[in-house]
A = this chain, B = another copy of it.
Amino acid sequence: MKNFTPTGSCPVRDVLCRLGDKWSMLVLLTLNANGVMRFSEIHRTLGDISHRMLTVTLRMLETDGMIRREVYAEVPPRVEYRLTERGGSLLPHIFGLVEWAEANKEAILDGRRRS
């Protein structure tokens, strides 16, 4: 019987849980779709993320090396975000999930309504 007890270093739990939050995936998707983006642009494309949660999410993604943050010493300040290679390498897997979700969406929502 294969075990899934916490070993203290499970990559699923360590790494992926950070991506399972409300916004990380969407930030990666919009950066992938639109290339280099400013803070306010990302904010607009997501629409309903709060100012605060966007900064928090961006910081976490930066810490994990998924995105790169570049500050320009201008007034008013300009900050640009882009995917790193590591971030880009994750995207095909996300797309796999998205396609699966699209394919199974109807059936799943149907089942939820029934119960």
Contact = CB atoms under 8 A, between A and B. Distances in A.
Interface of A: 1-6, 9, 11-17, 19-22, 25-26, 29-30, 33-34, 41, 45-48, 63-65, 86, 89-90, 92-93, 96-98, 100-102, 104-105, 107-109, 111-112, 115
Nearest to A86: B104
24 contacts: A1-B34, A1-B41, A1-B45, A4-B26, A4-B30, A5-B48, A9-B105, A11-B101, A11-B102, A12-B25, A12-B26, A15-B109, A16-B25, A16-B97, A16-B101, A20-B20, A65-B108, A86-B104, A86-B107, A86-B108, A89-B104, A93-B93, A93-B96, A96-B96
Contacts of A47: 3-6
Contacts of A102: 11
Contact of A20 (B4, B11, B21): B21
Contacts of A25: 12, 16
